[in-house]
Structure 1
Amino acid sequence: MKKRIENKLGDFFGQENVGVQDVSYRHRGHIEENPYETHFDIKVKSEKFKSMTQVARHKLVYELLEDEIKLIHAISIGTIIL
């Protein structure tokens, strides 16, 4: 799932502008049926964020990851304007 998220966001923002960390290990025991690749920290840098509010930037990331969001438990998103 991590690679899938990196590829999808990287295709849109550029691979060098995307960082994805699987932090599922912090939540072991929280989700017993699948304790791996369930929680992610995502960082994205882009000029595309220039005229967008933080809410709009997060909404864009959620829209790009629409299919992946259905399969994971939680994400944390950090966006940086270049």
Structure 2
Amino acid sequence: MKISVDLTLSPLQDDYEIHVINFIKSLRDSKFIVLENPLSTQIFGEYHELMPFLTGLIHKSFEEQKICVLTMKVVKTDRSDYEPDF
């Protein structure tokens, strides 16, 4: 089943920027479709492949930070080709 995941990583420490950059670069280096905007990053793929990848990446990111918030929304469909019609 295809899913779309919206991610916002918010490190709560002074050197937050490098952690966000590293997280996004890891998403970009994956085999999945990744779209970015100023507020969040979306990643798209098969549920059984994407979720284990994200679990590992989130765990690694959390280990490298003191305090961090990750907001994640999961939609059961591939929205990577979404174009507004208004």
Q: What TM-score range do you get, normalising by the shorter chain?
A: 0.3 to 0.5
TM-score when normalising by structure 2 = 0.44
Higher relative contact order, chain-length normalized (CA < 8 Å, sep 6+): 2
Higher strand share: 2
- Between structures 1 and 2, the one with greater helix share: 1
